[in-house]
Chain A
């Protein structure tokens, strides 16, 4: 079966879903805790770093036309490297999506389903993700294209609704914990863009490969705007010393919205929208894990890969025993894992592939 070809809008929204879902997790809180008042400045700084990184990646991809990083890894190190990398990326996506899903389901359980078992809430999301994959990738992409503008609008609405409650002085002192903390240690907050990993795989799915640069820039800028709005909503609303909540910081911001006496509670509406975001996110993650397995291990039946990846996400999501472990994974393990796999390992593979390709082309030219 031929892989689905995406136009510019579909591809941008696909990447955006992954980036935004990672941000909903609890990244605004994590950034504010580490940066204090320089959180917004830090987000702008890491956006610039990620854009520079993307321009480099785009350049490194150029000799390979419409190949993804797994195909390039095969070119670099043979089938073995391809299989190893496929497994690494699959495990990475399973772990990250499991932790994100766990964090979101904990919030749902605390607020709306205190009596329900966590495994039921997790299971429902994963069953829906499996069902979506059974209907095919085309349907996932179409639904995602419809949902994305609604999700973007919801964040924008939260920001506008909270505007009058913001205290602009909370961005002072400008440098927060100092220059080193903001610009050196703060560079690790690039992990907020760990959804960037999809950009390494979306290239062969594009109808026009030349759209790749536009897709990357648009999705990075839009998700950066989303991250700035989420961080600003929390930072300018709460004195950051009190931003230590169990539930999502974006939800806490939504709780304080009041549209007069007519609509005193709007947080339920936003949670409703974010539930669909997560279903879409999980569907995309499962479909990409299936793609990795097809490329690297080539299973007899792709359905088995769908079920196994969903079950793996379910098991990993249930592993943390309490919220302390969840927070540890979200704030520590996630950070270093994302930097290592998304920004270092992938870059190294691409760079080696680029150098090897250039040498090969030179050799051919000489011959």
Chain B
């Protein structure tokens, strides 16, 4: 059953801010408090907001069927793949093969207290993004599965 127009309008307004905040926490995981797990959970709360405001059929219709499942798998594969690529650089599994290389996320970090540069950290931002993708998929699937297990309401 849909909630009132007021609740739905509020959810529509809040939704982009929640998503942007979640992605900010994921991408800035190596600079500010937060990271993949926390940011993914924040993004998953957008799914909860959808559930609060809209009916079950609308929630299921607005989220494509396999996107959460695929994002969970892709996140885990990206995580393991990034860790495995360290072997090709001649260092151990999970070695930071992008650190200081000058390419993506490879700017040498300024030691000591500094305002922070998002282009540092080596593979840590990539692992953060991978975990964020995985956590948002996993949390979304959990919530949707539990919503799907509820008894249907008259619509």
- Decide whether A and B are members of one complex: no
Give residues in A with beta carbon < 8 Å to B. Answer: none
Give residues in B with beta carbon < 8 Å to A. Answer: none
